[in-house]
Amino acid sequence: MSPIALFCALLVAAGPTPEKAKPTPPMELTVDESFDPPIPSPAYPKGQGPLILVDQQHRNVVSLTSYFGPVGRYLTRDGYAVRPLSEPFSAASLKNARILVIINAQSPEGSPDGASAFGEGEIRSIEEWVHQGGGLLFIADRAPFGGPASALGKAFGVTFDDNAILRRGTDGKPDGVLKLEVKTSGKPAHPLFNEVSQLVYVVGESIRGPAPILFAPKNTYSGATIDSANGPDASGRPLALAFSRGSGRVVVIGDAGIFSAFGSVNGPTRRGISEADNAQFLRNVVRWLAR
């Protein structure tokens, strides 16, 4: 057999190369600038609440310049001071913050697939800051965002599964938009679920780590991509964690859409945080992290 024929035969034997997971193309989504629900009882008087820093240093797909912009304004009306952080994490850059928000950070441009989005010094700085009383909201969506988040997750005992939690829709196709009833998929007595009965989890991943509080419902499976037609049963896999570390607290969630103000170009224009009780859940998370 010629070398070329042998090479072709090996390709056929190996089968098709599995498709890599890809983020939703930005041109398919819009920022929901109309997100502006009322806040009858703000957590703090205007401008007197703790400082929330939102990461914008690590090529974040979700930040104050995109889908978290309207959410930042919402938290400002709840009394918090919300500012972007556009420099590396360090003792100096985190010094005055009570809460740090990191959503869908990416590796530096040109890095190998799955490389950490954060340097070792940054990870140590966040660990120390949390131990001293900081509150970390850390979110990494379905693949390919779990890989860049894994090193920071490991520092807190958290593993991102880098998958997609799916169910079969009425048309038989994979569907990752999950309506979660807290009474069956969560821990209703936890303070994060105060006045929260239902959440919408928008094509997120599962995670492992301390103190899970939200779980994948029955009849879900783990897919390598959002187009996976089947996969291992995912029922009961953790979707969110909430735990203490030193004097601080950490909330980890495997879905960026749950706290993003976004819409679909050819579909509903108000998704994510506008759905179910997602906005109240965010308020509870931030209050809990702020202590």
Distances (CA, A) of 196 to 90, 117, 122, 192: 35, 32, 34, 8
Q: What percent of the chain has pLDDT over 90?
A: 86
226-244 pLDDT per residue, tens: 999 999 999 999 999 999 9
Q: What DSSP string runs through 64-110? A: TTTTTHHHHHHHHHTT-EEEEE-S---HHHHTT-SEEEEES--PPTT
Confidence of residue 27 (pLDDT cuts 50, 70, 90): low
Quote the DSSP letter at residue 43. Answer: S
Mean predicted lDDT score pLDDT of the chain = 92
pTM here?
0.91
**List of domains in the chain:** 28-290 (3.40.50.880)
CB-count burial class (<10 Å; 0-12, 13-18, 19+) for 232: exposed
Mean pLDDT calculated for residue range 57-66 = 97
How far is the C-alpha of 141 from the C-alpha of 155, rounded, in Å? 18
Q: What percent of the chain has pLDDT over 70?
A: 93
